Structure 1
Amino acid sequence: MKQYVFTIIFTATVTFVLAWAVWRLALKYKLYPGIRERDVHKNPTPRLGGLAMYLGVLAMFAVSAQHPFFAIVWTNPQQIWAILGATTLIVLVGVADDLWDLDWMIKLGAQFLAAGVIAWFGELQIYSLPIGGLAVGSSWVSFTLTVFSIVVVMNAVNFIDGLDGLVAGVCLIANSVFFAYSYLLWRDQGASTYFNLASLIAAVLIGACIGFLPLNWSPAKLFMGDSGALMLGLLMACSAIAVTGNLNPAVVGDNDEFGRSQLLGAFIPILLPVVVVMLPLLDFGLAVVRRMSKGKSPFSPDRKHLHHRMLDMGHSDRDAVLIFYAWTAIVSLAFLLMYIGTTEEWPGDYLLGVAFGVVGAAACLVVTLTPSRVRTASPSAHSPRLEPAR
């Protein structure tokens, strides 16, 4: 565990220092776009924070290559190099978009290429689903399923990047829960070491988000841009696939107790990686349906994302961000408790009671924080907030 703590602290420190440097340099050389019609912020703000996060991630992987404790994840260096190569590609395209607003087809093509590099050259694919030993039918099905999964998660994370501190905080919470899950999963498998690629990626992302948040908290001095949001989505997808796509269904147990039944236990390894990004996925799905039903591109900007709806309900920017944090934390923790319950042989009634209690607390919290009526405003203050597309 000490090595994981070092990973988080090192990545956070490097990311924070580089983010501060990027912010200062961007202001000095005016490396930021002008205010666009769909932007929320009032003053020109650099959108190159993702570059600092990427360099922080890269620095930690460079350290891991030299440290004996991390040698286990470098036993298959091709996989690491494929992930880093794909990450580099997506960050470069993201930086170009943050500076010059690339066409969405170029960005989407780069996303599929990056996902293809991971699935093909890195051989990090969804080979099986932990439901009764269900295996993916063929190599092409596995490759296609993996590529589409990575692209969907990338865009889901990118789509919620509309408020100061939103993506960094949500991803910090999600990766913290997923880190705990992957760590416990390796423990329950009886592995000789709890160190694994999924946990390393999650720890690195936790550090990157911690290091970036001080400059991104409202009012933000620096945005992560597409380069940061797409990188977070890409690495989160890789972390989930490294666990779920190769999980042995025997891990979940096979006795007759409901808490350890195949029905419940087998689905948790699939559901938890999805749940930790549930809000981004929900927002992404609604946006695609909404835009395509109007004959528009699924990537055309609008102001109907979940965070925009919260602002319209009368929440301040910070209130909306904190509610997203609460939703992410409570729902993902509920599923983590369900996993812990299956491995600790909790009685079924007790397990469900805990899970529903946590979800109920989440509902009460959200209701408490929701304004009773929409805030009234003057016509000038009631102008629409459009997607910043950072």
Structure 2
Amino acid sequence: MSLIWIVNILSVFFLCVFFAGIVIPQILLIAFRRRLFDEPDERKIHQCVVPRLGGMAFKPVVFFSFVLLLAVNVSTGHDELLKEIGAEALPLAYAFCAIIMLYLVGIADDLIGVRYRAKFFIQIVCGIMLVAGGVELSDLHGMLFIHSMPSWISIPLTVFVTVFIINAINLIDGIDGLASGLCSIAFLFYGMTFIWFHQYLYAMLAFATLGVLIPFYYYPKIRKQSQWQSQLQ
């Protein structure tokens, strides 16, 4: 692993921690002033009001930090990152389109609410986009005694797993810190795995997302839900 990749991975991580630490409190403040809260009811796990839009900082911070580092790399004559992006252009393009779709639907759901059928349809489209970009569960490498699978099985399985993971994270999102904590562990694992297999571009994206998740996990801990509720009364 060359020094430039070590610098890039560490830089994108700390940039995301820094920018998310600035942006997330401001978003929470806006949610408080505009009274954008997720009210508890019989279908919700949380018992107190929870400010919406906290996750709004995720993709802008990750994309900004990543593109900023790309610009710095090109300006300083280091083209390793640019070459890696060029080699992975197709899966990255489809993945970013899928992420933007989920991001916009998430914001719309927080602000005005989105019907479950519409969200389910978007999730399926995102899964199809990943498959179009070459991301496909075509081999389970012996898990459940399954190895290589034909496309007519692997493609629907990939879409199903994509929808399953999205909804699994959404399901535990109502428990304070659980979703962000588990996702932090997952992205740390992914980042280290990508480094092990010399996939440094994806390691950067994994550690960038981890960098946003840390402040996102931290701020709800210091601003307890009871404080939000008491200020509403």
TM over 0.5: yes
TM-score (ref. length: structure 2): 0.78
Displacement after TM superposition at 1:111 (Å): 0.8
Match of residue 123, structure 1, among 113, 122, 134 = 134
**Residue 149 (structure 2) aligns with:** 136
**Residue 165 (structure 1) aligns with:** 177
Counterparts of 1:127 and 1:87, CA distance in 2: 22
Matched, 1:214 2:227: no
CA contact (8 A) 1:32 1:99 kept: no
Match of residue 62, structure 1, among 67, 77, 98 = 67
Which amino acid in the other structure matches residue 54 of structure 2?
G
- Taking a change above 3 Å as real, the CA distance of residues 200 and 142 of structure 1, as seen in their structure-2 partners, is farther
Matched, 1:92 2:104: yes
Displacement after TM superposition at 1:168 (Å): 1.1
Match of residue 48, structure 1, among 41, 50, 53 = 53
Displacement after TM superposition at 1:78 (Å): 2.5
| Alignment root-mean-square deviation, CA | 2.5
Displacement after TM superposition at 1:32 (Å): 3.2
Q: Would you tell me which structure has more helix in proportion to its own residues? A: 2
Match of residue 108, structure 1, among 112, 117, 120 = 120
Matched, 1:175 2:187: yes
Larger radius of gyration: 1
CA contact (8 A) 2:81 2:201 kept: no
TM-score (ref. length: structure 1): 0.49
**Residue 76 (structure 2) aligns with:** none
Displacement after TM superposition at 1:172 (Å): 1.1
- Taking a change above 3 Å as real, the CA distance of residues 218 and 167 of structure 1, as seen in their structure-2 partners, is farther
- Taking a change above 3 Å as real, the CA distance of residues 77 and 65 of structure 1, as seen in their structure-2 partners, is farther
- Taking a change above 3 Å as real, the CA distance of residues 75 and 133 of structure 1, as seen in their structure-2 partners, is farther
Displacement after TM superposition at 1:134 (Å): 3.9
- Taking a change above 3 Å as real, the CA distance of residues 45 and 156 of structure 1, as seen in their structure-2 partners, is closer
**Residue 16 (structure 1) aligns with:** 21
Counterparts of 1:45 and 1:34, CA distance in 2: 7
SS at match of 2:37: coil
- Taking a change above 3 Å as real, the CA distance of residues 130 and 64 of structure 1, as seen in their structure-2 partners, is farther
**Residue 229 (structure 2) aligns with:** none
Counterparts of 1:180 and 1:95, CA distance in 2: 30
- Taking a change above 3 Å as real, the CA distance of residues 196 and 125 of structure 1, as seen in their structure-2 partners, is farther
CA contact (8 A) 2:140 2:148 kept: yes
Counterparts of 1:173 and 1:52, CA distance in 2: 19
C-alpha distance after superposition, 1:116-158 (max 9, x if no partner): 12212x22222334349943313x4332222111111111222
Counterparts of 1:3 and 1:220, CA distance in 2: 35
Which amino acid in the other structure matches residue 91 of structure 2?
Q
Displacement after TM superposition at 1:218 (Å): 5.7
C-alpha distance after superposition, 1:281-321 (max 9, x if no partner): xxxxxxxxxxxxxxxxxxxxxxxxxxxxxxxxxxxxxxxxx
Match of residue 158, structure 2, among 122, 146, 150 = 146
CA contact (8 A) 2:12 2:66 kept: no
Segments of 5+ residues of structure 2 without an aligned counterpart are 1-5, 74-78, 226-233
Q: Give runs of aligned pairs for residues 302-321 of structure 1, distance below 5 A.
A: none
CA contact (8 A) 1:64 1:70 kept: no
CA contact (8 A) 1:183 1:199 kept: yes
Could you say which structure has the greater relative contact order, defined with CA pairs below 8 angstroms and 6 or more residues apart? 2
Displacement after TM superposition at 1:197 (Å): 4.2
CA contact (8 A) 2:31 2:51 kept: yes
Displacement after TM superposition at 1:6 (Å): 1.1
Which amino acid in the other structure matches residue 211 of structure 2?
G
Aligned length: 210
Segments of 5+ residues of structure 1 without an aligned counterpart are 187-193, 222-390
